[in-house]
Every structure is written in structure tokens, then in C-alpha cells.
Amino acid sequence: MSDHIKKIIIAIDGHSSCGKSTVAKEIARKLNYIFIDSGAMYRAVTLYCLRHKLIENGSVNLPELKANLGKIKVSFRFNPDTQHNDIWLNGENVEKEIRLLTVSQNVSPIAAVAEVRRLLVALQQEMGKSKGIVMDGRDIGTVVFPDAELKIFMTAQPDVRAKRRFDELTAKGEKVSYDEIRANIIERDRYDEKRKESPLRKADDAIVLDNSYMTREEQLKWILCRIDGI
């Protein structure tokens, strides 16, 4: 696959916890592309907001958040140990912190703020200018890169996604409740699809990948076949 000469943009959208980032990272590695985790960017902003008490009990302090946007610097740096790009917030590697359940529970209201989306979409579009990138998120194929050469909409049944997320967090030694994770996933789906600013929806020209009963290897093969057809 590494002989795929023409550099393209691969946009992967879809529901939370359906393995978008995992597959996107593998695709990027196979093609020697840059992987950009747009969700991690929104999580980093959410972490900043939590640390500075700009969001409490799901309620965003909009005036304060807007006043603080200029102080939020999000970037990616290559981690030689993991061979992936880690996310940095104001000079600090926050790759681990952004995966905490408290961040997951608060990211949707932050991601719905128009000013936050404008800031991060501009940054994402800048990153994609040279092509040769794989980016995953909620509005990559519809808003960030509407002209992407390949658009994939990933989904999986809520119970399957909850189990995957539960296993992932438990493997890291975190004490979590399956029911709480499942409720969080369903709530995020509802929030992401109903929000006014860039709601989650399948781009008209996106190909649907329901990976409920697919292994990671099968998903990878499925996507690489689509890339070969471009």
C-alpha cells in the first residue's frame, strides 16, 4: 500500500468510541501519512476548560471561554516511543489526561461552541494544506475537508462501542462503570447529532463502515481497498 503515490486527504467521521482514531492511526502508518485526531483537539480545549473552571456541571461559561480562547494553544508532536503524534496543550503533553471520563463527559458542550469550532477548524485546514493526512472527527468530511478524496462514516452499535470503551479503560487500570460509559455514549450521540454548530451527519459522498462485528484487520483491509480504487 505504501506505493500509493498520489497524496490525498482521508476524512473519517462517525460516532464516539467506534474506533475511528485507532483505524485512522493504522491507515496513516501504512501510507506514511500524518494522522490528526481532531477529537483530541476538542478534548484538549475541554481539559483547559475543566482546569480553569470554565465548564461545571455541563454548563459552559461562554463569556469566560471566549475571553480565554487566545490563551489556548493546541498542537501535535511526534512521540518516538509510540510512533504517533501526541497532543500538547500550552506546552504540556496531555495525551493521557484528555482520555479521562471527566473529559469525555464534558467534551460535547465545548465542541458545540461556535468560536471553539472556528478556531480548531482553521487549525485543521492549515494542517491539511499539503495533503497526505488522515483526520477523524465529527465534521471532517462535511465542514473541515468537504473536498476530501475519500470520506468514510464509521459507526457501530452502542452496546459494542460501550464494551470496547469499557475494556480500553479497564485495561489502563481505571475503575469505570459499563452502564455509565454506555449512557455517556448514547448522550454524546444525541448531543452531536442535534447540536446547531456542525452537527454529526454523514457527508453525501461518504462510504458507511459499520464495524460492529469487524476486527481491526478487517476494517483496515476494507479502507485500504477503497484507497486503492482512487
Mean pLDDT by 10 residues, the chain (230 residues): 73 92 91 91 97 94 96 91 89 95 92 94 93 93 96 96 93 93 92 86 96 95 91
Query: Architecture of domain 9-228 in CATH?
Result: 3-Layer(aba) Sandwich (3.40)
**β 133-137/9-14 pair status:** parallel
109-to-165, 190, 211, 213 alpha-carbon distances in Å: 20, 12, 27, 30
Closest of 219, 17, 188 to residue 111, by C-alpha:
188
pLDDT of residue 52: 97
pLDDT of residue 1: 45
Return the domain boundaries, the chain: 9-228
pLDDT of residue 197: 83
CA-CA-CA-CA torsion sign (122, 204, 9, 11): positive
pLDDT of residue 148: 97
